[in-house]
Structure 1
Amino acid sequence: MVSMKQLRYFVEIAESGSFSTAAEKLFIAQSALSRQIKELESQLQTPLFERTARQSHLTPAGLAFLPRAKAILIDVDNASGLATSIGHGQSGTLRLGHASTVPLIGKLKGALELYLDEHAEVCVEVSNESSETQLSHLVNNRIDVGLLRLPVLHQPNDITLLPLFTEQVVVAVGATHPLSSRTRITLAELRDERFVSITHPKRGGLSYLTFELCARAGFSPKPAQVYSLKSTQPMLVQAGFGIALLPISSVHASSLHAIEILDEGCLSTVALAYRARDSALVAEFVAHFQRTFSAASR
């Protein structure tokens, strides 16, 4: 069988024009080089070089063999480079899920752009999914990394959560809402307001946080007649169907009016979710975000 060594030796001789020059470039004895080429010619059952005292010329068979040998070497080098790149987490497609309440703006956008700048051979496929769906898809290998809001009420055993940053939760109202003139408010004052979000103590993320904060203030949030799980909440608030407790980043991404909440503990944490033992691609992505947000918190 023709070996990669023989192909490299053959190409080097063909490009150098002589066995002696090729032997010098390859740092091997000329006799060893000649022996490898003889073995190659024996396997191919045809001479590849016409040998003279000073130079070696390709035979017609050698001329035909040269471009194909070079193509094979290039393909092998490219395949080797790709395998190494993927093995080190420098290449491939990463499937990223994110909750609608975790918009890819501000800090997250900056971190993702920096990662892509440093990993030009990586593509990121983004999907919008609830926190619960992300965890399920991680377990079933449908996504590689999730961006969600804590708390997670049911964390699968092999899923790791990495908190990235915490931000303020505010009351979001539309421009024509009676509260739009307010800049600060207590949760107790929202007792009679209608919430366009579905709050439930058994749902994690922002839904659980909204329910918990209202319960702490002594009431259960009243649902509006028109409500949404997540993605259309800002639109419904803007349309005047009710209010919502939203992270400040979500409000900044819309044209809503934000009212600061005076109660303590109105904070929401964004976290990365990933399988504990995954590919180098995932490990490198997670490490990048961990480094970026650790540095930002200093």
Structure 2
Amino acid sequence: MLSTRQLRYFVEIAECGSFSTAAERLFVAQSALSRQIKDMESRLQTPLFERTARQPRLTAAGEAFLPRAKNLLTELNKASELATQVGNGQLGTLRLSHSSTVPMSGRLLRGIIDYLDQQPGVSMDIVKLSSEAQLEELAEGRLDVGLLRLPVLRQREGVQIIPLYEERLLLAVPPRHWLAVDNHAQGVDLGLLKDEAFISIPHPQRGGLSYLSAELCMRQGFFPKAARVVSRKTTQLQLIQAGFGIALLPESMQDIAPPDIRFLPLADPDCQSTVALACRQSPTALVQQFIQHIITPL
């Protein structure tokens, strides 16, 4: 089997037309260069050069071998560059998911756009999944990065969760709701919502925003009353618009909400929600690059 070193030596001699000049360019002794070419010819069982008094000339076999040797070296260089880029997280497809209450807007979307601008070799495949589904997909290796809202009730082995930023919660009400008409300059007191219908209530085995909302209401002495139609997805925006009920939603949901839904501030300053990033405990270089980039501006 010929070595890549021998291929390089052969191509350099052919292009220089001189063993001595090729040896200088390759920083090797001319005798060592000659031995490598003789070994190549022995393995190929045919001469590649005609040794003349003035300069070596390619034989017919050498002429046929030269373009293919160049192509092999070119492909090897490309493969090496590819491996380096993948290993450094500069090339590949990042499989990302987000929960319905972490919309692709605002600071998050700006961070993703900036990351892709700086990494032209990276593409992204984005899907929407619940927090629990994201953790399962991460644990099974079918997902690279998840974006979700805390709390998470069930953790998965081999998956880590990194808090990204805090976001205030707002009260989302239908267009003609009485709270939207009254003046609440200091923010709406959660205690006023005791008899209101909530279109998002906790699932017994799921955390996330609905779980946090219920926890905040219970601090005021009541559990949120379920509306006749409930949802934990972005469908809840349409349900609020249709007048089925109200919900505590993160500020960023305003970016994707129908224009006539009213978002009101809350009086309690502790009404905050945490957006977090989930990935495997030993992330790939591609995921590490993304995490480092997305954490910095957030």
TM-score by length of 1: 0.92
Kindly provide the CA deviation profile for residues 6-45 of structure 1, in whole angstroms up to 9, marking residues without a partner as x.
Answer: 1111111122222222111111122211211111111111
> Retained in 1: the 8 A contact 2:201–2:214?
no
Match of 1:233 among 232, 236, 239: 236
The 1-side partners of 2:54 and 2:242 are apart by: 88
Asked whether the equivalents of residues 174 and 262 of structure 2 are also in contact (C-alpha less than 8 Å), the reply is yes
Q: 2:226 aligns to what?
A: 223
Q: Secondary structure at the match of 1:218?
A: coil
Q: Which sits farther off after the overlay, 161-170 or 227-236?
A: 227-236
Runs of 4+ in structure 1 displaced over 6 angstroms? Answer: none
Q: 1:196 maps to which residue?
A: 199
Tell me which residue corresponds to 2:179: 179
Q: Which residue of 2 aligns with 1:107?
A: 107
Give the secondary-structure state (helix, strand or coil) at the position aligned to 1:176: coil
The alpha carbon displacement at 1:201 in A equals: 5.8
Report the alpha carbon displacement of residue 157 of structure 1 after superposing the two structures with TM: 3.9
1:212-264 deviation digits (Å, cap 9, x = unpaired): 11111222222222221212111222222221110000123322321001123
**One-letter code aligned to 2:5:** K
Q: Distance in 2 between matches of 1:12 and 1:175?
A: 77
Check conservation: 1:196, 1:226, Cα contact below 8 A: yes
| 1:296 matched residue in structure 2 | none
Residues 172 and 251, structure 1, Cα contact 8 Å, conserved in 2: no
Distance 1:34 1:146 in 2: 58
1:207 to 199, 205, 210: 210
SS at match of 1:52: coil
Change (3 A) 1:264 1:292: closer
Tell me the SS of whatever aligns to 1:197: coil
Across the two proteins, how many residue pairs are aligned to each other?
293
Q: 1:279 aligns with which of 250, 263, 284?
A: 284
Residue number in structure 1 paired with 2:272: 267
| Alignment RMSD | 1.8
Aligned to 1:61: 61
**Structure with the higher strand share, 1 or 2:** 1
Q: What amino acid is aligned across from residue 246 of structure 1 in structure 2?
A: L
Deviates more, 1:232-241 or 1:262-271: 232-241
Are the aligned partners of 2:105 and 2:255 in contact in 1 as well (CA < 8 Å)?
no
1:251 corresponds in structure 2 to: 254
Q: Is the 8 A contact 1:194 1:242 kept in 2?
A: yes
Matches for 1:163-174 after TM superposition, within 5 Å: 163-174=163-174
Query: Counterpart of 2:289 in 1: which secondary structure?
Result: helix
Deviation per CA, 1:183-237, whole angstroms, max 9, x where unpaired?
5311121222222213346421101111111111222222222221212111222
Report the AA paired with residue 234 of structure 1.
Answer: L
Bigger mean CA deviation after superposition, 282-291 or 243-252: 282-291
